[in-house]
C-alpha cells in the first residue's frame, strides 16, 4: 500500500501561521522538535515547555545548521535573530505543532480510522482489548500508547503514553504506509493539554474513568478533567463512548458537540446505559457476565480478572458497536482476549505463591487490583509497591491507607524515586498507615520482591504494583534496566528450590 508524499515545502507548512513573505522559499529535510535530533537543513520548532524552551539550547541548534528556526516568543525570547539561520516567531506555537506536522506528513489520520481512549486508569488495557477485537474481525490494526506503537506483537517502545505531536503524526504516517487501517491510541491528559493531538482526526473517543493522578501537573481535579474533556470536542468525532457510572459523565456529555452520537456503558448495572452488565461472576480463572443492550441480552466469558476489567471490556464492546460490529459476532473473540503486559499479569500459582504484576500507580488502580485479588485469595495477600518521585505527593498516604485496608503484609519499596529521597517517599506512604499490618520498608526493589515471595506460603498472593510493563527504574536522573517480571520469576524459582 502506498501513502501520500511528505510535503517539505516551507510555505505550505507555515501557510496561515505567518506572513508569506517571511518564509524562505526552500524545502526542508525534516521536521524536528527535539534539538538533539537536529541535522542540517531541518526545520526546528522551538516551543516553550513547562521546564525549558527549545531555544535554551540555541548554540547546539545553530551548530546543526537547520534551514529555519520557528520559535514560540516568550519574555526571555521575544526577538531572536541569528547570523546564519533565519528565525520566525509564531505566538502560541505549541498549539500549531500538530497542524504543521500533519501538513508535513500529508494528513495521515484522514484516511485511517482513529479511536482515542482517555481516562485515568484502563487506557492501555482498553486499547489492547479493542485492538484484539478489531483484529478478530479482519481489521489491520495498530496501537499507540504506553506499551509502544505498532501492530500487536510488534510494538516499538515509547517513553510517553502519547508521543509528541511530530512523532505522533510520523507514527500515523508510517502505520498507514504499512497497510494499517485502524489505529487505537491512548490520549493522556498531558497530551491533550499540550495539544499534541490537535490535528489528529479522531473518529471515536472513549472515556474510562477519572481518579486522582497527575495533580503535580494539573494542580486540581477540575483542571485534570478539563484536560481530558478536550478530546470530546474534536470536530472530527462521529461517536463518544462514555462511562455512565462516572461522576464526570454529565460534564463530558455536555462537552460533546450536538451531532456526535453518544454511546454509554455501565459495569454497575445502570439500565439507563446503552450497554450494561446485568450480572457478573468472578473467580480466579475467568469472568462471566450477562450484558444487556437496547433490550437484547448477551453472555460473555473472559479470562480477564476483576470487576474493573468488566468496565474495560464494556468500553471496547461499545467502540466495536460504534464501528458497526454486532455483539453476537464477538463472543469467541472476547473469550480469547488477553491483557497487556503488566496488567494483572500472573506468575506462579501452581504449588507456589501466585505473583501478580500490575501497573497500578494511582490510589484507584491500587484499590481495584487489591480488591480483585482479595476475592480470589485463599490465604494472605501481600502488596509490594512504592510511589514515583518528583510527582504528585498527595496520593502517597492515600495509597498507603488503601494497601493496609486489603493486604496482610506490605513491602514499601522504590518505584521511580528520581531525584527525591527514597526514604522520604516511603515514609510519606507509611504516614497513611496505622494499626497492626506487617509493614517492611525495603528501598531496593529487587530485594523487596525477593523478600515478599520468600516469606509467602504456597496459597498466598503477592501483588507487585506500580511499574507493570516498564523495564527500567529511574534513580536520580539515570534510567537503570529493571524488570519486575524477571525478578519475580527468579524469586519464584528460588522459592521452589528451597522447598523441593
The string of pLDDT tens digits covering residues 259-318 is 999 999 999 999 999 999 999 998 877 899 999 999 999 999 999 988 889 999 999 999
Q: How confident is the model at residue 334 (pLDDT cuts 50, 70, 90)?
A: very high
Q: Worst-scoring range by mean pLDDT, 48-62, 201-215, 315-329? A: 201-215
Question: In 178-245, which ranges are continuous DSSP H helix?
Answer: 189-193, 215-218, 221-229
Residue 25: pLDDT band (50, 70, 90) is: confident
* % of residues, the chain, pLDDT over 70: 98
pLDDT value of position 377: 83
- 14-24 pLDDT, tens digit per residue, is 999 999 999 98
Averaged pLDDT, 173-189: 96
What are the backbone angles phi and psi of residue 351, rounded to the nearest 5°? Answer: 65, 20
The residues facing 385 across adjacent strands are 412
**Neighbouring residues of 184: CB distance < 8 A, sequence distance ≥ 6:** 115, 117, 127, 130, 131, 134, 141, 142, 143, 144, 145
Give residue-wise pLDDT tens across range 385-415.
999 999 989 999 999 999 999 999 999 999 9
pLDDT of residue 160: 78
Is residue 2 very low, low, confident or very high in pLDDT (cuts 50, 70, 90)?
A: very low
* Residue 154 CB neighbours (<10 A): 10
Residue extents of the structural domains in the chain: 10-94, 107-335, 345-499
481: left (phi over 0), alpha (psi -120 to 50) or beta: beta
Backbone angles phi, psi at 314, to 5 degrees: -65, -35
Distance of alpha carbon 39 from alpha carbon 369, whole angstroms = 46
CATH superfamily of 107-335: Mur-like, catalytic domain (3.40.1190.10)
Mean pLDDT, residues 492-499:
94
- At residue 1, the pLDDT reads 41
264 φ, ψ to 5°? -120, 150
Question: May I ask the CATH class of domain 345-499?
Answer: alpha beta
pTM: predicted TM-score of the whole model, two decimal places: 0.85
CATH top-level class for 10-94?
A: alpha beta
Q: Are 302 and 324 in contact (CB under 8 A)?
A: no
Nearest C-alpha neighbor of 403 from the set 377, 438, 375:
438
Confidence of residue 49 (pLDDT cuts 50, 70, 90): confident
Bridge partners of residue 356, in order along the sequence: 346, 463
Nearest to 245 by CA among 230, 229, 265: 265
Helices (H), 303-362: 307-322, 331-335
Q: Quick check: do 10-94 and 107-335 share a fold? A: no
Q: What percent of the chain has pLDDT over 90?
A: 81
pLDDT of residue 94 exceeding 90? yes
Q: Which three cell numbers stand for residue 445?
A: 526493589
SS3 (DSSP) at 291 = strand
Instruction: Tell me how far apart the terminal alpha carbons of the chain are, to the nearest angstrom.
Output: 57
Residue 351 pLDDT greater than 60, yes or no: yes
User: pLDDT per residue over 241-265, tens digit each?
Assistant: 999 999 999 999 999 999 999 999 9
124-175, pLDDT tens digit by residue?
Answer: 999 999 999 999 999 999 999 988 999 998 999 887 778 899 999 999 999 9
Q: Kindly state the average pLDDT of the residues 462-483.
A: 95
Q: Are 366 and 381 in contact (CB under 8 A)?
A: no
Q: Coil, strand or helix: which one is 466?
A: coil
For 193, other C-beta atoms within 10 Å of its C-beta total 18
Mean pLDDT of 115-127: 94
Query: Residue 33 and residue 62: Cα distance in Å, rounded?
Result: 14
- Sequence-ordered list of residues with C-beta below 8 angstroms from that of 55, at least 6 positions apart, any chain: 46, 61, 69, 71, 77, 80
Q: How is residue 259 annotated by DSSP? A: T
pLDDT at residue 157, as a whole number: 85
CA distances from 364 to 213, 368, 422 (A): 9, 6, 23
Cell of 405: 485496608
> What local confidence, expressed as pLDDT, does residue 219 receive?
61
pLDDT of residue 432 exceeding 50, the answer is yes
Tell me the pLDDT tens digit for each residue of 200-239: 999 999 999 998 665 566 568 888 898 999 999 999 999 9
Amino acid at each position: 500500500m502506498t501513502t501520500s508524499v511528505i510535503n517539505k515545502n516551507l510555505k505550505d507548512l507555515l501557510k496561515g501561521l505567518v506572513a508569506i513573505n517571511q518564509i524562505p522559499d526552500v524545502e526542508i529535510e525534516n521536521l524536528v522538535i527535539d534539538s538533539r535530533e537536529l541535522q542540517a537543513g531541518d526545520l526546528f520548532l522551538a516551543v516553550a515547555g513547562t521546564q525549558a524552551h527549545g531555544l535554551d539550547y540555541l548554540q547546539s541548534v545553530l551548530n546543526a545548521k537547520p534551514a529555519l528556526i520557528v520559535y514560540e516568543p516568550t519574555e526571555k525570547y521575544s526577538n531572536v535573530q541569528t547570523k546564519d539561520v533565519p528565525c520566525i516567531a509564531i505566538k502560541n506555537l505549541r498549539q500549531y505543532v500538530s497542524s504543521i506536522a500533519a501538513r508535513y506528513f500529508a494528513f495521515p489520520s484522514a484516511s485511517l480510522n482513529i479511536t482515542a481512549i482517555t481516562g485515568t486508569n484502563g487506557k492501555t488495557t482498553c486499547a489492547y482489548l479493542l485492538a484484539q477485537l478489531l483484529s478478530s474481525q479482519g481489521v489491520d490494526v495498530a496501537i499507540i500508547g504506553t506499551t509502544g506503537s505498532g501492530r500487536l506483537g510488534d510494538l516499538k517502545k515509547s517513553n510517553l503514553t502519547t508521543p509528541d505531536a511530530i512523532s505522533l503524526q510520523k507514527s500515523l504516517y508510517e502505520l498507514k504506509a504499512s497497510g494499517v487501517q485502524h489505529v487505537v491510541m491512548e490520549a493522556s491528559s498531558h497530551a491533550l493539554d499540550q495539544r499534541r493531538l490537535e490535528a489528529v482526526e479522531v473518529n471515536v473517543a472513549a472515556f474510562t474513568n477519572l481518579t486522582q493522578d497527575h495533580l503535580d501537573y494539573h494542580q486540581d481535579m477540575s483542571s485534570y478533567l478539563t484536560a481530558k474533556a478536550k478530546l470530546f470536542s474534536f470536530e472530527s468525532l462521529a461517536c463518544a463512548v462514555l462511562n455512565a457510572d462516572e461522576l464526570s459523565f454529565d460534564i463530558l456529555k455536555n462537552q460533546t458537540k450536538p451531532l456526535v452520537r453518544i454511546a454509554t456503558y455501565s459495569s454497575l448495572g445502570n439500565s439507563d446505559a446503552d450497554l450494561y452488565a446485568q450480572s457478573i461472576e468472578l473467580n480466579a480463572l475467568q469472568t462471566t457476565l450477562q450484558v444487556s443492550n437496547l433490550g437484547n441480552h448477551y453472555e460473555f466469558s473472559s479470562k480477564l480478572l476483576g470487576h474493573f476489567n468488566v468496565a474495560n471490556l464494556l468500553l471496547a464492546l461499545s467502540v466495536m458497536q460504534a464501528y458497526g460490529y454486532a455483539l453476537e459476532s464477538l463472543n469467541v473473540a472476547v473469550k480469547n482476549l488477553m491483557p497487556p503486559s503488566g496488567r494483572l499479569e500472573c506468575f506462579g500459582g501452581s504449588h507456589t505463591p501466585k505473583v501478580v504484576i500490575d501497573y497500578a500507580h494511582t490510589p484507584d488502580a491500587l484499590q481495584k487490583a487489591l480488591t480483585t485479588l482479595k476475592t480470589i485469595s485463599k490465604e494472605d495477600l501481600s502488596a509490594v509497591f512504592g510511589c514515583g518521585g518528583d510527582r504528585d505527593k498527595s496520593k502517597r498516604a492515600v495509597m498507603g491507607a488503601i494497601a493496609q485496608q486489603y493486604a496482610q503484609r506490605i513491602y514499601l519499596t522504590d518505584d521511580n524515586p528520581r531525584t527525591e529521597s527514597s526514604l522520604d517517599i516511603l515514609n510519606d506512604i507509611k504516614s497513611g498507615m496505622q494499626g497492626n499490618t506487617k509493614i517492611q520498608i525495603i528501598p531496593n526493589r529487587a530485594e523487596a520482591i525477593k523478600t515478599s515471595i520468600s516469606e509467602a506460603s504456597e496459597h498466598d498472593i503477592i501483588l507487585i504494583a506500580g511499574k507493570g510493563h516498564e523495564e527500567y527504574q529511574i534513580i536520580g536522573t539515570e534510567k537503570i534496566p529493571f524488570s519486575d517480571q524477571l525478578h519475580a520469576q527468579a524469586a519464584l524459582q528460588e522459592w521452589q528450590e528451597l522447598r523441593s
